[in-house]
Amino acid sequence: MLREDLRNIAIIAHVDHGKTTLVDEMLKQGGSFRENQVVAERVMDSGDLERERGITILAKNTATYYNGVKINIVDTPGHADFGGEVERVLKMVNGVLLLVDSFEGPMPQTRFVLQKALELNHRVIIVVNKMDRPDARLNEVGDEVLELLLELDATDEQLDSPIIYCSGREGTATMDPNRKGTDLKPLFDTILDYIPAPEGDPDGPLQMLVSSIDYNDYVGRIAVGRIERGTIKTGQEVSLCDYHVEDLCTNGRVTAIYQYDGLKRVAVEEAKAGDIVAFSGLENVNIGNTVCAPYEFEPIPFVKISEPTVEMTFSVNNGPFAGREGKYVTSRHLRDRLMAELRKDVSLGVHETESPETFRVLGRGEMHLSILIETMRREGYEFMVGAPKVLYKTIDGHMCEPIERLLVDVPAESVGSVIEKLGSRKSEMVHMTPQGERMRIEFKIPARGLFGYRGEFLTDTRGEGILNTVFDGYEPYKGDIEKRSVGSLIAFETGDAVTYGLYNAQERGTLFIGAGTPVYMGMVVGSSPKNEDLVVNVCKKKHASNVRASGSDDALRLIPPKNMSLEEMLEFLGDDELLEVTPESLRIRKRILDHQLRMKANKK
């Protein structure tokens, strides 16, 4: 049976192509907000980090109404590191809006998510957004999207996808690139005409795939998914099973059911096949489980989540300043928090090690793990992380490593230095196309070749380059890559950094700290241009003598320290270094703090 009163769609877009802004307008014009309601911009980005970085990490669900039809809109993450989210979400919908920027065109992450949607045979509506940009290339971008669909082996039906030109900011849509629209009516009409209504038998035995998990302190775990068949009611007894886990068969009772209306979850008594719902009551439910009628075990095949490619160690902070700034500092706190994250994020892996204070955390990329670190830090956790490492795999007896597809968009004068640097990192150029005064170049590069490259790339392109990556697969090991080309400046003793000490140290390299910063022996206070570590005494005061007073430090001019973000610090980390993360500070330190012991260990 078709549910003509319902459409389920997902939005696919690259980071910053205006996806969340367009959804805001769809909600406003669909009447999901009251006339007088004050609406935050980018309502779909609910986490602080998401709003700050302009990226969507977790897939969000929302719904709006048009001509009596409910349209469930699922927002997908635009970054490949969160691909685990993307694959699950696409199982809930019947079609996708492919959103591309009117100037930049399709980007690597768009390709990644689109490929997953095409594999599921979803219909595609192409939305060229930001049509009001002065540098918009409307027709060329439309052609580029069709070329991408051809490359990804789209079916004839998918190649005939309608193209709509939108301005998310102004809330307009049109089918004709030469005429400006007045509202989003053409977009809504196309969704109703082109995206198929969900199918399902509301009278059959219940069957629903859990696509994502939310957690609430009051009701516990909340399972989100689309009902494939049957009807779910509050208080109903249900069974759980799993396509990949044969012996998982447990029973439970549904305590509350919610549907989406605008941005709110509204409690309902029952929901039928085709509806996207959230429900609570099953404490051990997990992503990929099938919820079915009692003792009628029929698991739904589930997209296997892509495997992690990067690992880091998370450990309890044991530095001299441990426990000063954090609220949660023990190994039990750290373990509980990582396990809680594991319950929500299926792309993550957490393994215990021989030491009870250290955990191996596996993720889909540096970005995936850095978001976790930043989130924990804001919650009041204090811990240390090691440098990111890639996960190797043995395929047919050969050691293979993860390969990324890298797309760079650079000014023409920077092309030489970018190609040279990437060549030394074992990359392979796939193709190169000029775009006005810029060049777009595509490479295949080992994931470890990208560690620490973003900073260099921005320097080489004078901040004008754009760099995007997406996981491509595993290939045989490409050989050794030279580690970072700079050394560290290491604090000689514990104390507060003073101007006199910093003035002498700044001649040796770039400093990361200013006067008055507390430091400890073995802490990294800067980078040295030579490829070796130097110990500097930033706490050294100018001693008073009979000849001179100690107060003439004011004349010393200090170069402002380099302030590094969390990502930059992770890129800088050497194998023998750790990053100390607290709610107030980020400090890089040596694993072995004592200079003598460290020198002995390095000689071995």
Alpha helices for 281-381 (secondary structure H): 331-344, 366-378
Q: Where in the chain is the domain with CATH 3.40.50.300?
A: 6-194
pLDDT of residue 589: 92
pLDDT of residue 39: 44
pLDDT of residue 541: 83
pLDDT exceeds 80 at position 194: yes
Alpha helices for 177-328 (secondary structure H): 185-194
Which of the given ranges, 52-56, 287-291, 412-416, 576-580, has the highest pLDDT on average? Answer: 576-580
pLDDT exceeds 90 at position 316: yes
- 520-565 residue pLDDT tens: 999 999 998 888 888 999 888 877 666 665 555 557 788 888 888 8
Which among 145, 127, 23 has a CA at the least distance from the CA of 74? 23
Proportion of the chain above pLDDT 90, given as a percent: 10
Rounded to whole angstroms, the Cα distance separating 83 from 109 reads: 9
pLDDT of residue 35: 41
Among 216-225, 241-250, 285-294, 431-440, name the one with the lowest average pLDDT.
241-250
pLDDT confidence bin for 38, thresholds 50/70/90: very low
Proportion of the chain above pLDDT 70, given as a percent: 88
- 135-189 residue pLDDT tens: 778 888 888 888 888 888 888 888 888 888 888 778 888 888 788 878 888 888 8
pLDDT of residue 524: 92
Which among 196, 26, 64, 27 has a CA at the least distance from the CA of 125? 196
Q: Is 142 helix (H, G, I), strand (E, B) or coil?
A: helix
Contact 388, 312 (CB under 8 A): yes
* Mean pLDDT of the region 271-290: 83
Rounded to whole angstroms, the Cα distance separating 115 from 154 reads: 9
Which residues line the annotated binding site?
Answer: 16-21
pLDDT of residue 31: 62
Is the domain covering 6-194 a CATH 3.20.190.10 domain?
no
pLDDT exceeds 70 at position 124: yes
pLDDT exceeds 90 at position 360: yes
- 368-386 residue pLDDT tens: 788 889 889 999 999 999 9
Q: Which two tokens stand for residue 393?
A: 């795999």
pLDDT confidence bin for 580, thresholds 50/70/90: very high
pLDDT exceeds 80 at position 275: yes
Alpha helices for 133-173 (secondary structure H): 138-151, 156-159
User: In which residue are the tokens 């001649």 written?
Assistant: 507
* Mean pLDDT of the region 258-282: 83
pLDDT of residue 84: 57
Model pTM score? 0.71
Burial letters for 551-570: b for 16+ Cβ neighbours within 10 Å, e otherwise? Answer: eeeeeeeeeebeebebbbbb
The CATH class that applies to domain 487-603 reads mainly beta
- E-state strands within 19-158: 60-66, 69-75, 95-101, 123-129
Rounded to whole angstroms, the Cα distance separating 595 from 604 reads: 15
pLDDT confidence bin for 306, thresholds 50/70/90: low
Give me the sign of the Cα torsion angle 184, 185, 190, 196.
positive
The CATH class that applies to domain 207-292 reads mainly beta
* Mean pLDDT of the region 504-533: 89
Mean pLDDT for the chain overall: 81
Q: Where in the chain is the domain with CATH 3.30.70.240?
A: 393-476
Rounded to whole angstroms, the Cα distance separating 526 from 387 reads: 17
- 468-485 residue pLDDT tens: 777 778 888 888 877 777
Rounded to whole angstroms, the Cα distance separating 447 from 310 reads: 9
pLDDT of residue 58: 41
* Mean pLDDT of the region 16-26: 74
Which residues line the annotated binding site for GTP?
Answer: 16-21
pLDDT of residue 60: 62
Q: At what angle do helices 138-151 and 108-119 cross, to 10 degrees?
A: 50
Three-class secondary structure assignment of 420-437? HHHHHCCCEEEEEEEECC
Between 56 and 168, name the one with better pLDDT: 168
* Mean pLDDT of the region 125-134: 83
pLDDT confidence bin for 293, thresholds 50/70/90: confident
Q: Is 1 helix (H, G, I), strand (E, B) or coil?
A: coil
pLDDT of residue 57: 38
Rounded to whole angstroms, the Cα distance separating 306 from 378 reads: 28
What CATH number is given for 393-476 in this structure? 3.30.70.240
